[in-house]
Every structure is written in structure tokens, then in C-alpha cells.
Amino acid sequence: MEDEIWSKGPKFRLSCWLQSRTISTTGPIAARVINRAERLRKHDEEIARRPEFDHSDTPIEVTKSPNSPWEYGQGVRMKSPGTDQAHKEIDPYAPNRQKTDNYHLLISGIAPRPIGFISTQSGDGKTKNLAPFSYFQVVDHDPPLFIVGIGPKSGQGKDTLCNLKQSGECVINTVSESMIEAVNATSIDAPYGVSEWELSGLHEAPSTTVSPSRVQESVFSIEGKVVDIKEFPEYAKPGMAPTAVVFIEASRFWIREDAANENYSHIYLDKLRPLGQLGGMAYGRITSTFDVPRKMWEDEVTENDILRNFTSRNGAKVGSQV
Ligand SMILES: Cc1cc2nc3c(=O)[nH]c(=O)nc-3n(C[C@H](O)[C@H](O)[C@H](O)COP(=O)(O)O)c2cc1C
């Protein structure tokens, strides 16, 4: 019977699903579901036309930087198209501005974002959870500190936030290219208590300073404890848990042995193969990099004529910090 349903195509499957839930096949819920299914079908067709993912493990290319060689005061030498265009001012809180416009704007404009793949469990340890977050960043190394932005959700909020509040512990795992479909599967809005570990097919590995497991497939995992949670109830919609920013301090690092140097102070990019989350549903690979060395004032001001002239014109003493 199941096979028969699948063989008849998505529209037929959808109407069976709606009927099984006694949802009208013509009402507004059905229209929403059908719209979503149609969008997904079109997206599947589009994906089918694309070239295959390049699994060749081609070494990451290293080039010169975009404006190399660059001198002080030069700004952008190699101008890209559009740099002379005007900017449009937008008030994120304007009455006619949709919240979803801000969402799409921010995820496409603040890109690429790293993905923190967060493992948590409930206070009583009975429920495990795994979910990706790209409102995520390391914010310092001493102490090793991280932030995660967790968006609103109806009821008690996202499972990750509930667990972080209850247990105060987590493991932040990195996401490499090869993991992305499994990681994405864990972002499904599964009911509280459904284990995303099983859904994803990813494997648990033991942690030592916190209870939640780390992800075996991740090159780098960070056991961490919650140091603060800041909620924004003033923006919450009725019946929705508010947005929260969680501060996490690392208590242990786990690094895949072949992916780092001898003293575990550097992870190799070609082993990590990190993904950046971009706008829409897109992710970016890193296939090419360049170096831009950081300069020290003390070295530069004695060595570099432009900087020396600039300094004397601005009245600062050569060799002093401005
Ligand atoms: C790559 C990726 C990044 C995401 N980033 C965030 C994020 O930064 N904040 C957020 O609230 N949800 C984010 N989501 C959606 C959550 O993963 C999703 O809501 C998930 O169901 C939350 O799981 P939980 O309820 O089990 O905690 C992201 C989803 C994906 C696929």
C-alpha cells in the first residue's frame, strides 16, 4: 500500500496525508501545504539540473590578496562593479516592513556564517537534542567564549534553549562539507523528545566535562557551560518564547588527530572543510584563500615612507602609538 502511494507522485501522497489527518484538501492549511510542496518540487527539479558536487578533494588554492601589492591610503584599488552606486536606508522597525524581510536581508547580507552544531540534553538527562545554529560565533579565546542566537518558537521555545536553561551544558560541533545533509536533517521541527541523532544517522561520542555527547563526525568539538542567557521578551509575539542569546564558555576541546598540528594549536583547513551559511538555503565552500599579514605600528612606522609622512603630517611622533 505504502509503495502504491509513493508511486503515484507527490500530489497524490499529499492528499492522502491531508485526508489521514482529516484536514480538508481545499481549505487554507491544504493551500499552504500544497504551496510548500510545489515550491519544494520546483526546487528538487532545479537541483536535478545542477552539476554533481565535486568530491575530488582538490587542494585549496592559495592566491595573492585582491589588491596586492597595497599601500597605506589606497583604499580599494581593484574596484568591483557597483561601488559607485547609492545606498538605500532601511528602518528595520518601519510599520510596513515585514519581519521576514529583515530575516532574509540579514542572512544574505551577513554571510558567510559559521554553523555551530549544538548537542544538548534535558536537565533529567532523558532527552537528547542536536540542532544547527548559524547565529553563532566564537567571541574570545581567553576565556574561550561563544555566542548563539536562538530564535523564537511557539510554546516553551526551541528544544536547544530549553535544554541549555535546564542543564547549562552543551557541545558545540563543527560542520564539514560532508556532514551538511545530516546536519540539515536535525533542524527539522521535531516534537520535543524526538532524537535528532537517529534522524541524522550521526554518531555520538562521549564527552568528559559535560553530559551531552559530541558528534563523532565533527573534526572539532567544544564542550561548554552556559555562562549567561539574555532573553528579549519585549519583542516576543503572544504565545511565543522570546529570542535568546546564550553565552557559552568552553570546558574541553576535542580535535580529530589527523586534522591538527603537533601541539593542537592549528586545525588544517583542508581537513576541516568548513561550510559557510549564506542567504536563502545556500551554503558556500572554501576552495581558495589568500593571506593578509597583520602589521605592527612599531615596525611599519620606521620602515614605511608613506606611514612616516602621514604620521608627521598628523603631528604624531614617529615611533609613538597613536
Ligand atoms: C544551517 C542552519 C542554521 C540555523 N541557524 C539557526 C540560528 O542561528 N538560530 C535559530 O534559532 N535557528 C536556526 N536554525 C533553525 C534550527 O536549527 C531549527 O529551528 C531547529 O529545529 C531547532 O532545533 P531544536 O528545537 O531542537 O532546538 C538553523 C537551521 C539550519 C539548517
Residue type, position 144, single letter: P
Taking Cα atoms as reference points, which of 52, 66, 114 lies closest to residue 278? 114
133 lines ligand 1 (CB under 6 A): yes
* Domain presence at residue 225: yes
Could you tell me which residues come within 8 angstroms of residue 296 by beta carbon, excluding any fewer than 6 positions away? none
* Domain presence at residue 4: no
Q: What is the pLDDT of residue 1?
A: 42
DSSP character for 155?
T
Distance 165 CA to ligand 1 centre (A): 17
- Given ligand 1 and candidates 99, 104, 133, 153, which is best to mutate, with the most ligand atoms within 8 Å of its CB? 133
Residue 298 has which C-alpha cell?
612599531
Q: Which structural domain, as residue segments, surrounds residue 205? A: 99-290
Helix orientation angle between 28-48 and 10-20, rounded to the nearest 10 degrees? 150
Residue 257 CA to residue 158 CA, distance in Å, equals: 33
Cross-strand bridge partners of residue 226: 248
* Domain presence at residue 207: yes
Taking Cα atoms as reference points, which of 154, 143, 125 lies closest to residue 228? 143
- Given ligand 1 and candidates 118, 158, 195, which is best to mutate, with the most ligand atoms within 8 Å of its CB? 158
Residue 106 CA to residue 147 CA, distance in Å, equals: 17
Residue closest by Cα to atom 30 of ligand 1:
132
For CA atoms 160, 164, 166, 167, give the dihedral sign.
positive
* Domain presence at residue 84: no
pLDDT by position in tens, the chain (length 322): 444 544 455 555 556 555 655 656 667 777 888 888 888 899 899 999 999 999 998 999 999 999 999 999 999 998 888 888 999 999 999 999 999 999 999 999 999 999 999 999 999 999 999 999 999 999 999 999 999 999 988 888 899 999 999 999 999 999 999 999 999 999 998 887 788 999 999 999 999 999 999 999 999 999 999 999 999 988 888 888 899 999 999 999 999 999 999 999 999 999 999 999 999 999 999 999 999 999 998 888 888 888 888 888 877 655 544 3
Q: What is the CATH number of the domain that holds 145?
A: 2.30.110.10
Cross-strand bridge partners of residue 244: 150, 231
150 lines ligand 1 (CB under 6 A): yes
Residue 219 CA to residue 275 CA, distance in Å, equals: 13
Q: 240: helix, coil or strand?
A: strand
Residue 20's Cβ-count burial label (10 Å; 0-12, 13-18, 19+) is exposed
Taking Cα atoms as reference points, which of 227, 231, 222 lies closest to residue 150? 231
Angular region, 93: left φ>0, alpha ψ -120 to 50, beta rest: alpha
Q: What is the pLDDT of residue 316?
A: 65
* Domain presence at residue 81: no
Q: How many domains does the chain have?
A: 1
Residue closest by Cα to atom 16 of ligand 1:
187
| DSSP states of 55-124 | -S-PPPEEE--TT-S--TT---SSPPTTTTS------TT-TT--HHHHHHHHHHHS-SB--EEEEEE-TT
176 lines ligand 1 (CB under 6 A): no
Residue 73 has which C-alpha cell?
591610503
DSSP character for 105?
H
Q: What is the pLDDT of residue 17?
A: 59
* Domain presence at residue 30: no
134 lines ligand 1 (CB under 6 A): yes
Taking Cα atoms as reference points, which of 247, 167, 253 lies closest to residue 211? 167
215 lines ligand 1 (CB under 6 A): no
Residue 196's Cβ-count burial label (10 Å; 0-12, 13-18, 19+) is buried
* Domain presence at residue 282: yes
Distance 115 CA to ligand 1 centre (A): 10
135 lines ligand 1 (CB under 6 A): yes
* Domain presence at residue 106: yes
Distance 187 CA to ligand 1 centre (A): 5
